[in-house]
Structure 1
């Protein structure tokens, strides 16, 4: 999933449309929306417009400036994130996004998912979300590489704590014997340091989802809510599937819209995305992920890299440096609360 920079002529028009979506929120345009709009201006659009002076734009005019399909889809997805910035999208926001999408010729399944949420059609919402979300990616990966349907059932039962696989857990625990600077040892420290169960243990992630944890190690993001929003953006960036955006959508729903679609309890904190420079960090993470040369979710074999030094693994996989302005110490956002 690449990040596209709009041409100078399109940037202010797209910003006007984004502001319209923000104003259509139930409480109108609030500080969180302003942060998202200002971040987009500073990092993507290269504009310095007064948000309060932005006029409305009709769908036809918007379509004239966003005739590139990739750019049009990115704009619609930005509107979806905007609509979830402080809670579930309001009906007026969904109607507006749908109108823009129709004029732009963008068929974005995420619109239908959040529309079900707005209508409180929760079964439809959950089904529509998860058949495209990162959880579906983990299940598909488990199916392809861990024994088909039996492997999926086994992984889910381990995750639920019903059964355990001592041999599998032991294999992951042997990573502790590797040198400190290797990717494998760093993954062991990720599990051990956060108090997570190892794959194979009761409550451990299925092997098909381990690439998510490897991503934490490679990218350098912790497991706080802020870290999870960044790793979701990073993961969406390197994924090359049609529905990579749903990885970001999942994290935004959980960590800033206050809608828990994770398989375990999560804290509610509406508007989190507008705090500090988190929105900028997410864009930076998405860009870093998009520059990777390998899609970790596409049957990538971690064990071939387990003994490789972390710095070398990052280089081989094309992981760009985090950047001094975005480096954070462990626990800077508070204690880890889980993972998804």
Structure 2
């Protein structure tokens, strides 16, 4: 038996990988304009090697699997997920693409729940696909560790809301008592600047969804829908559990294709945000940053309050967070306190929240000291 190949792929292997992704994810008419941007961006960000789609020749699933014979399962799973990501940005999804995704996955001896989702999209059964997301093993189940991390027992589903939990609300309120520069105080500022309601109070986001707000602050992403795509891409790749890819598949289905009408207990469909200028580069960079964190991080099941009093710079260093690449910054990737990192709706919500609570309204403004 040949020795397993664990080194990063070189330029020649990257071209083979790109041939497989192109063959599996594109329809008979060739790649869409978005795929022409996305596929090269993903490979450049994740491998450091550029690919030109026009120069690639087709490859079948059997030959592709033979080329990857020395690669382990996790490598093959990630390649299938790259195929899925490149396919899931297309609506309508051609039937031949869903078929080829299954053929390539079978040849690579890989199964992924999102292949069934792609098949349902291709069949026009988006409602059934939504049910698959709800049943997904990573997102669907409640367990003791998750409840302990969320500091509440008052949930009937992972994405359930908690509108009356005084202890949980008090725990979030205590973040305001932390020194400026700590992760927890950053999250408190993040909430107040946007008029967000903390878990445990009426009108709040589901506690599980609130977990990802810590990632906005930690990884340096604002709160536009484009930023949401970056955050979920970062979280999906920071987790070694391949099922976490469903997080990214979910937000693409919400904020690019609109296949999903709603998700994560709060989000509603709003199409076309991956087509925004530079988003292919930003998505690839967010995946790169997630993949390069040290260790495996399940940010949704992490007890963030155990890190709340620590300097944000220390937490970033401990997980090995790499800076954003210059092309992603040039393409518009911003943090929660940079221009463009907040929406007009959120600014207005912050003003209304201050008025309703009878406290002075301090408008959001860019603040490089909070980066």
What TM-score, normalized by structure 2, do the two folds share?
A: 0.77
Comparing both chains, which one has the higher relative contact order based on Cα–Cα distances under 8 Å and sequence gaps of 6 or more?
1
How far did residue 187 of structure 1 move? Answer: 0.6
The residue number in structure 1 matching 2:60 is 58
- Is it true that 1:283 corresponds to 2:291 in the alignment? no
Cα distance change, pair 324–9 in 1 and its aligned pair in 2 (3 A): closer
Cα distance change, pair 38–296 in 1 and its aligned pair in 2 (3 A): closer
Which residues of 2 match residues 24-173 of structure 1 at below 5 A?
24=27, 28-44=30-46, 47-67=49-69, 68=71, 69-132=73-136, 135-136=139-140, 142-145=146-149, 150-153=153-156, 158-159=161-162, 163-173=163-173
CA deviations over 1:295-322 (Å, ceiling 9, x no partner)? 2447533222222221122223332333
CA contact (8 A) 2:149 2:303 kept: no
Q: C-alpha distance in 1, partners of 2:208/2:240?
A: 17
The residue number in structure 2 matching 1:226 is 226
How far did residue 227 of structure 1 move? Answer: 0.8
Q: Which sections of structure 1, spanning at least 5 residues, go unmatched?
A: none
Q: C-alpha distance in 2, partners of 1:232/1:146?
A: 18
CA contact (8 A) 2:78 2:242 kept: no
CA contact (8 A) 1:182 1:307 kept: yes
CA deviations over 1:103-157 (Å, ceiling 9, x no partner)? 1211122101221232233453122222227643787754355688x53139866
The residue number in structure 2 matching 1:244 is 244
Q: Which sections of structure 2, spanning at least 5 residues, go unmatched?
A: 1-5, 347-371
The residue number in structure 1 matching 2:359 is none
Number of matched residues?
Answer: 330
CA contact (8 A) 2:89 2:257 kept: yes
CA contact (8 A) 1:145 1:208 kept: no
Q: C-alpha distance in 2, partners of 1:31/1:4?
A: 32
Worse overlay, 121-130 or 45-54: 45-54
1:13 to 16, 34, 39: 16
